[in-house]
Every structure is written in C-alpha cells, then in structure tokens.
C-alpha cells in the first residue's frame, strides 16, 4: 500500500488486524498486549506510540495507543483506516461521569458523541454533523457485555468529547442537564473519521472519575484497572472476525 509506513506509524502494510483496540495510553496498549494476547509482536513504536499485533482465542487482533485529544486520535485513526485498511476501531478509554447514576469503574458505550471541538470544520458542511457509533459494533459489544454478566455496570447513550480536560463545573452540568452521560476527549474525532472513510468505530469508556462528585481513580488503576472493558472489546473483536 502507498505511503506505508506513515509519518506516525512505522508498521508494514499487513501488520494490523482488521480490528484495532485503541486506548489513549500507549502503556495501556502494552499492558493489554502482554496480559491478554498471545504471539504478540510490537509492530509500531514511532514517538513511543506503541502498537501491537497478537491473537485472542486464535483470532488476530491489534491494539495501539491513540494519545490524548481529538487531534491525536484523529491522526492515528485516519492512518489506520486509510493507509492500513483497518475496518474497525474500538476505542477503550477512560471518562468522567456526568450522571448521578454512573459510578467509578462503570462502562459507558457511546452511542453518540457531542463535542465542543471544531474538528468537523474540515468537511465544509452547511450544518452540524452528529458523530455516532457504528451500530453493528455497538450492538455486538453491548450484547457481549450482557453475556459476560456486566449488565448492571454498563450504560448506553450520549457522551461529550471535549477539547478541555479541566472544564468548568457549571459547563459540565449544562451537558449533564441534556442527558450527556460522560465526558472524554477522543470519540467524536474517531467517529467522524470512520464516517468520512466508510469504516466502523465504537467508543467504550470506563469511568475513571466523577468530576461532579470529586471522585477519581489513581494513575495505576487508570492504566491497569479496566479489565472488564478490555474483555468486552476483545470478545467483540472475536465475534466480528467470525
């Protein structure tokens, strides 16, 4: 394939599986590869944004970090979709709960992603684009979560992809009043890239903090404590390959 390796991914053209799990933290990608996959190979390490290929239940699956924010995941997801012909990207990240009913370590499936970003400006649309998940991925992953027994700790709905990490509490409450479940920083750009390139994308996030309740997990728990979400994503990837 032309232009491979890319400026940001130094893998060969056939190195990635059709489905890529994408945490924000490259060290979380390394943790997943080393603890959940077999026959693991490190296939990309440009700028220390680690990418791996391995097997889960004898199916090829890739995992690669995206970095923080929409510009970063915008670059990596675009290159994976466009240059490496990846079909499905499942973001497995962290988020802050905006709902009283959603607690630390709960999992939110982002059906849609509101945003305060100007990422969609590039498309020149005469209106406001509404970034949404790919239904097949959403349906498959929710069903998988239920089959694994996590139904009491999952939530499905709208999230906010923000350019601002330290957002004003009054602003967050406004989004919460509109029924937005959680806030993170990447999903909207991922969904827009998937829509533009006719690929599939889903964001599922584990709640790492509750900014309106002043609760949070520590950095080690953020890196290593999301095993339920990781299992859901891996089982989903196996079902997609069948």
Asked, for residue 1, whether it belongs to a domain, the answer is no
- What total number of domains does the chain contain? 1
Catalytic residue among 15, 163, 209, 218: 209
Asked, for residue 82, whether it belongs to a domain, the answer is yes
Q: Which residues pair with 59 in a beta bridge?
A: 56
Asked, for residue 6, whether it belongs to a domain, the answer is no
DSSP state for residue 225 in the 8-state scheme: -
pTM of this structure: 0.96
204 and 92 Cβ atoms separated by less than 8 Å: yes
Q: Could you tell me which of 229, 236, 222 has the C-alpha nearest to residue 24?
A: 222
Asked, for residue 164, whether it belongs to a domain, the answer is yes
Please give the Cα distance from 48 to 26 (Å, whole number): 7
pLDDT of residue 218: 83
pLDDT of residue 3: 83
Catalytic-residue membership of 163: no
pLDDT of residue 221: 75
Asked, for residue 11, whether it belongs to a domain, the answer is no
Going from the first residue of the chain to its last (242 residues), give the mean pLDDT of each consecutive group of 10, the final group possibly shorter. Answer: 86 96 95 96 97 97 98 98 98 96 96 97 96 98 97 97 93 97 98 98 96 85 80 94 55
pLDDT of residue 224: 64
Asked, for residue 98, whether it belongs to a domain, the answer is yes
CATH number of the domain enclosing 186: 3.40.50.1580
Asked, for residue 14, whether it belongs to a domain, the answer is no
Asked, for residue 7, whether it belongs to a domain, the answer is no
pLDDT of residue 217: 87
Range of the domain at 61: 19-241
pLDDT of residue 223: 61
């Amino acid at each position: 394939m032309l232009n491979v390796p890319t400026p940001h991914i130094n893998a060969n053209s056939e190195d990635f599986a059709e489905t890529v799990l994408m945490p924000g933290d490259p060290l979380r990608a390394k943790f997943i590869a080393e603890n959940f996959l077999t026959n693991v190979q490190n296939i990309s390490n440009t700028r220390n944004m680690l990418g791996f290929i391995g097997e889960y239940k004898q199916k090829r699956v890739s995992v690669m970090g995206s970095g923080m924010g929409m510009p970063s995941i915008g670059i990596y997801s675009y290159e994976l979709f466009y240059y490496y012909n990846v079909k499905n990207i499942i973001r497995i990240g962290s988020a802050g709960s905006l709902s009283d009913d959603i607690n630390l370590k709960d999992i939110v499936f982002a059906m849609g992603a509101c945003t305060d970003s100007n990422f969609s400006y590039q498309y020149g649309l005469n209106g406001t684009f509404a970034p949404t998940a790919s239904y097949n991925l959403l349906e498959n992953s929710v069903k998988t979560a239920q089959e694994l027994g996590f139904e009491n700790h999952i939530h499905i709905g709208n999230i906010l992809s923000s350019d601002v990490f330290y957002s004003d509490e009054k602003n967050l409450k406004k989004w919460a009043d509109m029924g937005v479940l959680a806030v993170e920083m990447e999903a909207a750009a991922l969904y827009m890239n998937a829509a533009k390139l006719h690929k599939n994308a889903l964001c599922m996030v584990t709640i790492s903090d509750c900014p309106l309740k002043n609760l949070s997990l520590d950095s080690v728990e953020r890196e290593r404590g999301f095993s339920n979400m990781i299992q859901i994503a891996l089982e989903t990837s196996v079902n997609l390959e069948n």
